[in-house]
Amino acid sequence: MAEALVKTENIAKEFSGVRVLNDINVDIERGEIFGLIGENGAGKSTFIKIINGIYQPTEGRFFFEGEKVKRMNPFRAKKLGISTIPQEFNLVDHLNVYENIFLGQEHKKNALLLDQKRMKQLTRDLMEELEANISPEDRIDEISVAQKQMVEIAKAIAYESKLLIMDEPTTVLTSNEIDVLFSLMRDLSDQGVTIVYISHKLREVNKICDRVMVLRDGEFVSLKPTNEVTEHEMANMMVGRELNQMFPEMTTPREEPVLEVKGLSNDGLVTDASFHLKKGEILGFAGLVGAGRTELAETIIGIRKQTEGEILIEGEKKEISSPRRAVNNGIAYLPEDRQATGIITNFEVPKNITLISLKKYIQNFLISQKKERESTRKYIDEFNIQVPSINARLETLSGGNQQKVSLVKSLDTEPEIFIFDEPTRGIDVSAKMDIFNFINELVESGISVIFISSELEEIIGMSNRVAVMREGKITGILEGNEITEEKIMYHATGLEERVV
Ligand SMILES: Nc1ncnc2c1ncn2[C@@H]1O[C@H](COP(=O)(O)OP(=O)(O)OP(=O)(O)O)[C@@H](O)[C@H]1O
Ligand SMILES: [Mg+2]
């Protein structure tokens, strides 16, 4: 058999003496799609960051195309043909899309002049291939999370590579976008490109990957062809025990509404949205990416200006012109783009949690660090958040554990109404179950929840009622046995109207 593209021998990694990856021996073959799964903090990102030279292994060695790698660094990795789509976006906000794609590898007309025309055309071609509606000249800070993800993908495939590493590329994409990405991956693999694919969406991993490696607590658990394992077995191997029911028993909400939204509009992003949320209810919001669900949430909590309509809380009309007012009116919001609005990665964990509820922590005009640490410790236990230490900076936590911190942060404001925007993004199966149970506990205690998710299974498994949005409008609100995948897709795509 031909030599492997990547061969690792006894790879281990420690951070300040803590071993997060131990004794990994694996061959990654040429042209295969190699899945990598494991719980949050299992060591997946660390493993690939060793391959692409962001980290040096503490022990062990690896070979690339049969050659022993002496000291990998990101620059060399790129030159050797290793491209990475990172888990956390790595784009420059104030630059355009095409400038980001060719950053550091600009095409030039001559020694002095950049070939802007060519770079823009190449960007246009890439976007066409990805079927993404993004113009080369869009600025990064003006595009959506899903579009940012597409730019990261485009950036990675803009250059021919031998190894394409994808660290959770689909968390913010919809099924259509994922289909496009998968067919692209298949083409690349047919051309001999090797792909390492990390994801918490086990169904996807099972579908797209040839083999799948499972890591648990930094240890190798198994490596098997995907046609020999089921999704369920993959989940069990990840957590090391038998998992049962995914969704908690649904609770019955009370009849009275806590939140009434009437004719809410916002400059074309949201048009004439009306709905109510009952006390103790989970109201799901489904729709395709760009349907306006996030924009609606942002309008309700005052990040975006409402141009028309009114918002009533417990029957009383409220002017919510800023997120602070939303907090004061008992509304908490867990944003979708945690990097842009949710958390501050170079702050420590306790500061991130207490940031918007600081008032609670003031004693004699000073913020009590003791109190901050106490409640942080409580949350860390309750949600099983893995931290290197309690005062660790957030950037040293694994992606999923950062998401948990973001969730806890909104909870710390003690809200009556909780808006979750894609709360399970990047979170492993067992942590997902924790979050579902947690949401269920919230509603059992009388808190009302708006649950935005692009995972239909989650929406159906969790919601008492489901509102569906399309192009900024609420196209249907489904109840009881109307809540089916078909009905939701109908309202989300507008197919129903076209048929008539
Ligand atoms: N720079 C660092 N300093 C200290 N600890 C780190 C650092 N980077 C990662 N870790 C720790 O290493 C462990 C593995 O993290 P890693 O990011 O590889 O997990 P992961 O499998 O990618 O998880 P996720 O699914 O949440 O992305 C975690 O416990 C994390 O806190
Ligand atoms: Mg990771």
Assess if residue 248 is contained within a domain: no
Supply the residue whose CA is at minimum distance from atom 22 of ligand 1.
45
- Cβ 403 under 6 angstroms from ligand 1: no
Q: Is the pLDDT of residue 464 over 80?
A: yes
My answer on whether 306 and 451 are in the same domain is yes
My answer on whether 210 and 315 are in the same domain is no
My answer on whether 292 and 227 are in the same domain is no
Assess if residue 249 is contained within a domain: no
**Residue 48 alpha carbon to ligand 1 centre in Å:** 11
**Residue 238 alpha carbon to ligand 2 centre in Å:** 14
My answer on whether 326 and 199 are in the same domain is no
- Final residue of a structural domain among 194, 211, 239: 239
* Amino acid of residue 76: R
Which ligand is in closest contact with the Cα of 386? 1
Range of the domain at 100: 6-239
- Cβ 397 under 6 angstroms from ligand 1: yes
Q: Is the pLDDT of residue 445 over 60?
A: yes
> Which SS3 state, helix, strand or coil, does residue 435 take?
helix
- Cβ 398 under 6 angstroms from ligand 1: yes
Rounded alpha-carbon distances, angstroms, from residue 398 to 39, 142, 334: 10, 27, 18
Supply the residue whose CA is at minimum distance from atom 28 of ligand 1.
41
CATH number of the domain encompassing residue 223:
3.40.50.300
What is the C-alpha to C-alpha distance for residues 48 and 42, in angstroms, rounded to an integer? 12
pLDDT (tens digit per residue) in 103-132: 888 888 888 888 999 999 999 999 998 888
Q: Is the pLDDT of residue 61 over 90?
A: yes
Q: Is the pLDDT of residue 272 over 60?
A: yes
Which ligand is in closest contact with the Cα of 218? 1
- Cβ 15 under 6 angstroms from ligand 1: yes
Determine the pLDDT at residue 338.
61
Q: Is the pLDDT of residue 82 over 70?
A: yes
- Final residue of a structural domain among 181, 208, 239: 239
> Band of the pLDDT at 500, cuts 50, 70, 90?
very low
- According to DSSP, residue 55 is labeled S
- According to DSSP, residue 139 is labeled B
- Cβ 388 under 6 angstroms from ligand 1: yes
Supply the residue whose CA is at minimum distance from atom 29 of ligand 1.
41
Assess if residue 245 is contained within a domain: no
- Cβ 22 under 6 angstroms from ligand 1: no
Query: Best of 220, 348, 398 to mutate for ligand 1, by most ligand atoms within 8 A of CB?
Result: 398
Assess if residue 246 is contained within a domain: no
- Cβ 386 under 6 angstroms from ligand 1: yes
My answer on whether 23 and 82 are in the same domain is yes
My answer on whether 191 and 101 are in the same domain is yes
> Band of the pLDDT at 361, cuts 50, 70, 90?
low
Question: Per the structure, how many domains does the chain have?
Answer: 2
Assess if residue 231 is contained within a domain: yes
Determine the pLDDT at residue 211.
98
Given strand 67-68, what is the order of strands in its sheet?
67-68, 59-64, 6-15, 18-28, 219-225, 211-216, 33-37, 194-198, 163-167, 82-85
**Residue 348 alpha carbon to ligand 1 centre in Å:** 15
List, as own/partner pairs, every contact residues 294-298 make where C-beta atoms lie below 8 angstroms and the sequence separation is at least 24, other chains included.
294/144, 294/336, 294/421, 294/452, 295/266, 295/269, 295/270, 295/472, 296/264, 296/266, 296/270, 296/469, 297/333, 297/419, 297/421, 297/450, 297/452
Assess if residue 250 is contained within a domain: no
Contacts of 366 (CB under 8 A, 6+ apart): none
- Final residue of a structural domain among 211, 239, 267: 239
Assess if residue 185 is contained within a domain: yes
Determine the pLDDT at residue 337.
67
My answer on whether 222 and 263 are in the same domain is no
Which ligand is in closest contact with the Cα of 15? 1
Query: How confident is the model over 157-178, as a mean pLDDT?
Result: 88
Query: Best of 11, 46, 49 to mutate for ligand 1, by most ligand atoms within 8 A of CB?
Result: 46
My answer on whether 85 and 219 are in the same domain is yes
My answer on whether 228 and 342 are in the same domain is no
- Closest by Cα among 450, 479, 482 to 283: 450
> Band of the pLDDT at 498, cuts 50, 70, 90?
very low
What is the C-alpha to C-alpha distance for residues 107 and 109, in angstroms, rounded to an integer? 7
Predicted TM-score of the model (pTM): 0.75
Q: Is the pLDDT of residue 497 over 50?
A: no
* Amino acid of residue 449: V
- Cβ 335 under 6 angstroms from ligand 1: no
My answer on whether 27 and 107 are in the same domain is yes
Query: Best of 11, 13, 14, 15 to mutate for ligand 1, by most ligand atoms within 8 A of CB?
Result: 15
Assess if residue 307 is contained within a domain: yes
My answer on whether 376 and 298 are in the same domain is yes
My answer on whether 87 and 220 are in the same domain is yes
Determine the pLDDT at residue 400.
78
